[in-house]
Structure 1
Amino acid sequence: MSVIRNAWRLAAGSAAILLALAMPASAQTEAKPQYGGTLEIGTVYVTLSALSFDPADWNWKLNHDTGNYLEQLFAADLSKSKKNGGKHPFYADAYLPSDAIRGELAESWEWKKDPLRVEIRLRKGIMFPDKPGVMQSRELTAEDVVFSYNRLAKSPKAQAGYFSYVDKVEATDRHTVVFTFNSFHAEWDYRFGWGYYSPIYPKEMADAGATNWKNGNGTGPFMLTDFVQGNSNTYSKNPIYWDKEKIGGAEYKLPFVDKVVYRTIKDEATFLTALRTGKLDILETIRWSAVDELKKSAPQLQWSKWLNMSGTFLAMRVDTKPFDDIRVRRALNLAVNKQEIVKEFYGGNAELFAYPQHPDYGGYFEPLSAMPDSVKELFTYNPEKAKKLLAEAGVPKGFTFKVQVCSCSPDHIDLIPLLAAYLEQVGVKIEIQTMEYGAFLSAMTTKTNAAGYLMNNGHTNPTRSLHKSFFTKEVWNPSQWSDPKLDAKLDEMYRTSDEEKRVEIIRDITREIVDKAPYIWLPTPYIFTAWWPWVKNYAGELRAGAVRPGPIYARIWVDQELKKKMGH
């Protein structure tokens, strides 16, 4: 009742606002949608500006910045969201359950054998909008899919082996594209259908220069109409967008809002103030420590809470001494009081063990209680045993090593001094090197990162989470882990089409790699998302594919009358 009374006072007694605040989310989505207005968002990556607009750059954040205008073959089926009575929250960075995938550009698909292939039929009548200086409006065809795939696969920046299971891709008619495989791959749809690197775009965009945001053009609900590095991305409504949304038994043309604006704000206090004052309609990433104050100062805000889809760890390069010795790596894990971090640093808003698998992955995830004792030990604070292991490894007086940390993460900037204090108690000192994100990412991708590297790494999905971090020479492998036997298990994992068998393989690999401790495994925090009551048809969903929120934003509308009555 206190929230309602506060809302009443702040809104000068508006009964309409009281009704909106008291109304359950399901009832709000039944209201008639409104068109128009601008949606201002501090996204999950509010501190990070766009890193690239060219799909051939193989950049992890591409879908986040281009996914409002570049579509893919598949996407999340948002009709199965919890908001709509389903079971999926759609928080995951790059995991779509098999029962929650729909065709986006693909209308249907069918498996065939001899040779193993999937035939994908595209929706007819999907149009690229007119883009002066780049292209005239025309229909999407199968040739666009073939072009997009081939340009990605042949890029000098391509991840080695990423498409090794694909034999060829061809357009068999104007609206049919066939992917022929040389072997089954468990990530087949993710890798070219809805993953980080699989948007479909016209050849004209590449010919005009895909690195220039001004040349970007796609079939999505919005068009990129402005970009200011370090400040904002602005997306304007695509007037010829093809998709519709059924609400209350009626179909509505998408998108509802005229513009979506991503605000890039590096300072935490500034983006929290922007939310509190209504300059942001949605802020997708809020640390637990800011929640209570926001609930007091802006009681009308709506909330969701989700376990971070990025695991936190301090990677130790196993190709450098003394981290080539497992006793040292285990010692550093024992030296850090992880239970205390959960309780004190995160105020209880974290899970002790939630990486490299995520609890949202169902049977793929095993809790710490089900792990072998040697794994459980790594999450138990034991500085005396840590000292003993260091002595056995030949470094009884400890050692010093450099740890790189990104200035883009307020959480890590606050966490690293605490980790340093724990390690110093067992004689290990760290030199902290704070880096801007571009340099920080480059250090890892070029394998020039320091012996210590504090980072978040997206869980992605149950298979990719393991492969990208621990397969020999993988890009996202800051510990430089290399084990031919593990590589063979990872290959077997991908070739296994039976999901129950694949679950067992993944569980086995997870136990093994956690036990070998290439990282100081750290707790995974809960994150909060908040939005104002005038944001409708939304319940905190974050991604409709690999870090791609575009289909979610296309279905949001802004109750402009309510916003005005609330003084914004």
Structure 2
Amino acid sequence: MTKKLVWLLASCLMVISLLIVSCGEKDTGGTVTTQDKGQTVTVGGGEEDAGTGPGTASTVGEEQNRPKYGGKLTYPSIAAPAAWNPGAVTGASAEQGSIVIEQILGRNWEEGEAGTGKYNFVGGVPEWSAVGGNLAESFEILGIGEWLLHIRQGVYFGYNPKFEASKLVGGREMTAEDVAYSIEWMRDTPGSAGIVSEPSLFKNATIERIDNWTIKLNTPEAPTTGYLWMLGGGGVQYVWAKEHLENYAKSNEWYDTVGTGPYITDDYVTDVAIKYIKNDNYWDVNPVGLGQGDQLPYIESINYQIIPDKSTRMAAFRTGKLDRLGFREDLNAEEYEQLLKTNPEVEHAVVIVDPMKINGRVDMPEDPYSNLKVRQAMMLAIDHPSIVNDFYNGNAELLDSPARKWYPSIYTPLEEFSPEVQEYYGYNLEKAKQLMAEAGYPGGFKKTVYFANSPASEEASAILKEYLAKIGIELELQPVEFGIWRGMFWGGDIQEWIIDSWPGGNGALFVRYSMGYFRGPNVFNTAHVNNPVGSEPVIEDYYQQQSKYVMVDYAKADEVTKAAYKYCVEQAFLVPMPAPYGYRVWQPWLKNFYGSDDLKFWLRWAWIDEDLKAEILK
């Protein structure tokens, strides 16, 4: 099997390379392995017990030194921002989250890795109690879908006198009106990222101004998704000044960005780099540690480098020109081992990388993928154990989506499924051929499959093409430059088959409660399960049950979610590959950083140890 996969990748990737017209790369998602019960996590070269339950974390690294101000963070991205403001590109979220613009709620930094160590945020917010304030200083849950938000006073919009948009806002104080109007703008603007991502949530939301510092948000439809899309989570809702939205919401010029974040956009060389400078009037202070009480942020400026080519990014990291690799750019075991040969001092956290999946449309009868027996045949035709053992050298999970094992309240181990479903994750070519015949495709069929031209997608497409050909499914591979792929994906209506890691999810907190991966007109519901709503009654029933408990009884909500995700696996709505382990790496001089990926979990607290950097690079 090992030799076969090597030959397979060599031959198929050569074919793919001939098809690619332009360069680009797509990241793959990842979640930390420190949410498991009693497992170990490797951080910076050592293993430490990660605790006895989800969300607990060990202390990581050595005793922190007192944070220092100054320095420049050099951080890479594989592509230039597509949308600078919320109305610039249909369906796209503004892309400067936690740098220039901020969300309403955040996380409890005091009880994170730099504080008590109760929570580990490498994989995001681990549980409801870890949610904290941000632009809303605090909040109250009045009922399902009802939020009372107490807006923080003393928050000012960043001010750069070089630009007209910034001069319009004038660095004034943010108020509850700005928060309310930002939500209403997202709700009332056709084609906004909120409307595209979770239309029923936004279209039916109402906001009541209680006073200058308090608003009441009511989300009667899709209330389970309120935190995810509106208030925090991985959503699209940020806060802008009211007058900025009225005048610049549709501008896609970099100099028209204004927000409350720790940094201000200062310059941009198109498709090369963005320069961010420190917001000297930023509102937050460090709540814990040796830097308790320090005004944030610590880092003076950000050099946001746009580097599409992975080998170039790796070379820059090896030579100390990058302080960490980019968002969701986790190395595989071989890449990490090679890096250690030249950079033994590098820090790292172990993650599970979201698995690649192939899917078509279950809502289109003319698509063979809509036939359950075809999907079952596809699962049986892929030799999952050999991929784990031979391709990933045992460093992968057979079953990871839609629920990851680090979330035991919603995860069903493979051995608890029926023998028929357990067989999906094995290999039975003869039964796969039999199912294809029973489905009416004894000779197979041809399908075009689209994917981003990233190494992970190309590897997956090569493997899937080889295996599925054995049951007569002939895949025509169509790699797409990442920027174009992003537009196709966010368009939400791809007619052909796709390969990507985004569909399905992993059951991370709050994402699990939206059911968006398997319900309704959601861009992440790429198989169009239960779309239109009600077309898959089992999923719809689970969603309605879940809605009764989210925000008031999360234990009950998780019971329902676990059953729903089990059903999704049984129905093979998505055909996943195994999920490999990955390594998230950063330079040892990047301090107050513990492996969290999203900028909102680390940027404003991080600092650069210039002395250590000089010592290592001399």
Check whether TM > 0.5: yes
- Contact 1:39/1:257 (8 A) holds in 2: yes
Partner of 2:259: 218
CA deviations 1:505-560 (Å, max 9, x no partner) are: 111111111111122121122221112221111121223xxxxx145111111111
CA distance in 2, matches of 1:282, 1:306: 15
The change in CA–CA distance for 1:464 and 1:555 in structure 2 (over 3 A counts) is: closer
Letter aligned with residue 132 of structure 2: R
Partner of 2:494: 449
Partner of 1:503: 558
Partner of 2:112: 81
The change in CA–CA distance for 1:116 and 1:301 in structure 2 (over 3 A counts) is: closer
Q: Given the alignment of the two structures, is residue 99 of structure 1 paired with residue 141 of structure 2, yes or no?
A: no
Letter aligned with residue 603 of structure 2: Y
The change in CA–CA distance for 1:187 and 1:445 in structure 2 (over 3 A counts) is: closer
- Bigger mean CA deviation after superposition, 448-457 or 24-33: 24-33
CA distance in 2, matches of 1:339, 1:59: 42
Cα root mean square deviation, aligned: 2.7
Matches within 5 A, 1:111-190: 111-112=141-142, 117-132=146-161, 133-134=164-165, 135-157=169-191, 158-159=195-196, 161-163=199-201, 167-182=205-220, 185-190=223-228
Matches within 5 A, 1:245-260: 245=286, 246-248=288-290, 250-260=292-302
Select the residue among 283, 298, 320 that pairs with 1:278: 320
Q: Given the alignment of the two structures, is residue 467 of structure 1 paired with residue 515 of structure 2, yes or no?
A: yes
Task: Compute the TM-score of the two structures, normalised by the length of structure 1.
Answer: 0.87
- Contact 1:404/1:450 (8 A) holds in 2: no
1:110, CA displacement in angstroms? 2.5
Task: State the SS of the aligned residue for 2:207.
Answer: strand
- Contact 1:29/1:536 (8 A) holds in 2: no
Partner of 2:283: 242
Partner of 2:367: 321
- Contact 2:98/2:261 (8 A) holds in 1: yes
The change in CA–CA distance for 1:347 and 1:509 in structure 2 (over 3 A counts) is: same
CA distance in 2, matches of 1:341, 1:374: 20
Q: Given the alignment of the two structures, is residue 564 of structure 1 paired with residue 594 of structure 2, yes or no?
A: no
- Bigger mean CA deviation after superposition, 517-526 or 186-195: 186-195
CA distance in 2, matches of 1:201, 1:493: 32
Task: Compute the TM-score of the two structures, normalised by the length of structure 2.
Answer: 0.81
- Contact 1:40/1:260 (8 A) holds in 2: yes
CA deviations 1:195-247 (Å, max 9, x no partner) are: 31121110232234233221111111111223344333332110011111132
Task: State the SS of the aligned residue for 1:66.
Answer: coil
The change in CA–CA distance for 1:137 and 1:321 in structure 2 (over 3 A counts) is: closer
- Contact 2:155/2:283 (8 A) holds in 1: yes
Partner of 2:604: 554
- Contact 2:147/2:217 (8 A) holds in 1: yes
Task: State the SS of the aligned residue for 1:186.
Answer: helix
Letter aligned with residue 521 of structure 1: P
Partner of 1:207: 246
- Contact 1:404/1:432 (8 A) holds in 2: yes
The change in CA–CA distance for 1:51 and 1:498 in structure 2 (over 3 A counts) is: same
1:118, CA displacement in angstroms? 2.6
CA distance in 2, matches of 1:371, 1:78: 38
1:35, CA displacement in angstroms? 0.7
CA distance in 2, matches of 1:79, 1:480: 41
Q: Given the alignment of the two structures, is residue 410 of structure 1 paired with residue 455 of structure 2, yes or no?
A: yes
CA deviations 1:398-452 (Å, max 9, x no partner) are: 2211111101x21111221111111122222110001122332333444552432
Task: State the SS of the aligned residue for 1:477.
Answer: coil
CA distance in 2, matches of 1:164, 1:537: 36
Letter aligned with residue 516 of structure 1: Q
1:460, CA displacement in angstroms? 6.7
CA distance in 2, matches of 1:445, 1:230: 21
The change in CA–CA distance for 1:78 and 1:342 in structure 2 (over 3 A counts) is: farther
The change in CA–CA distance for 1:447 and 1:221 in structure 2 (over 3 A counts) is: closer
Letter aligned with residue 199 of structure 1: Y
Q: Given the alignment of the two structures, is residue 492 of structure 1 paired with residue 569 of structure 2, yes or no?
A: no
Partner of 2:485: 440
- Contact 1:128/1:219 (8 A) holds in 2: yes
CA distance in 1, matches of 2:510, 2:61: 38
1:119, CA displacement in angstroms? 2.0
Select the residue among 69, 85, 106 that pairs with 1:35: 69
- Bigger mean CA deviation after superposition, 150-159 or 224-233: 224-233
CA distance in 2, matches of 1:551, 1:383: 45
Select the residue among 585, 593, 604 that pairs with 1:538: 593
CA deviations 1:298-317 (Å, max 9, x no partner) are: 11111111112x34210122
- Contact 2:126/2:509 (8 A) holds in 1: no
CA distance in 2, matches of 1:58, 1:507: 36
The change in CA–CA distance for 1:184 and 1:268 in structure 2 (over 3 A counts) is: closer
CA distance in 1, matches of 2:405, 2:245: 40
Task: State the SS of the aligned residue for 1:314.
Answer: strand
Task: State the SS of the aligned residue for 2:475.
Answer: strand
CA deviations 1:17-62 (Å, max 9, x no partner) are: xxx999x9757553111111101123xxx32332212234688884
Task: State the SS of the aligned residue for 1:65.
Answer: coil
Matches within 5 A, 1:54-93: 54-56=85-87, 62=93, 65-92=96-123
The change in CA–CA distance for 1:303 and 1:64 in structure 2 (over 3 A counts) is: farther
The change in CA–CA distance for 1:447 and 1:256 in structure 2 (over 3 A counts) is: closer
Unaligned runs of 5+ in 1: 1-19, 544-548
The change in CA–CA distance for 1:61 and 1:100 in structure 2 (over 3 A counts) is: farther
Letter aligned with residue 538 of structure 1: F
- Contact 1:116/1:180 (8 A) holds in 2: yes
Partner of 1:17: none
1:140, CA displacement in angstroms? 0.7
CA distance in 2, matches of 1:538, 1:28: 12
Task: State the SS of the aligned residue for 1:327.
Answer: helix
CA distance in 2, matches of 1:230, 1:374: 50
Partner of 2:83: 52
CA distance in 2, matches of 1:499, 1:172: 28
CA distance in 1, matches of 2:318, 2:291: 35
1:250, CA displacement in angstroms? 3.6
Select the residue among 306, 314, 318 that pairs with 2:351: 306
CA distance in 2, matches of 1:298, 1:249: 29
CA distance in 1, matches of 2:304, 2:208: 36
Select the residue among 330, 334, 337 that pairs with 2:376: 330
Select the residue among 332, 335, 338 that pairs with 1:287: 332
CA distance in 2, matches of 1:59, 1:491: 30
Task: State the SS of the aligned residue for 2:358.
Answer: strand
- Contact 1:58/1:197 (8 A) holds in 2: no
- Bigger mean CA deviation after superposition, 453-462 or 167-176: 453-462
- Aligned residues, how many? 536
CA distance in 2, matches of 1:60, 1:296: 43
1:471, CA displacement in angstroms? 1.2
Task: State the SS of the aligned residue for 1:426.
Answer: coil
Matches within 5 A, 1:378-397: 378-397=424-443
- Contact 1:82/1:88 (8 A) holds in 2: yes
Partner of 1:6: none
- Contact 2:368/2:374 (8 A) holds in 1: yes
- Contact 1:444/1:477 (8 A) holds in 2: no
Letter aligned with residue 179 of structure 1: L
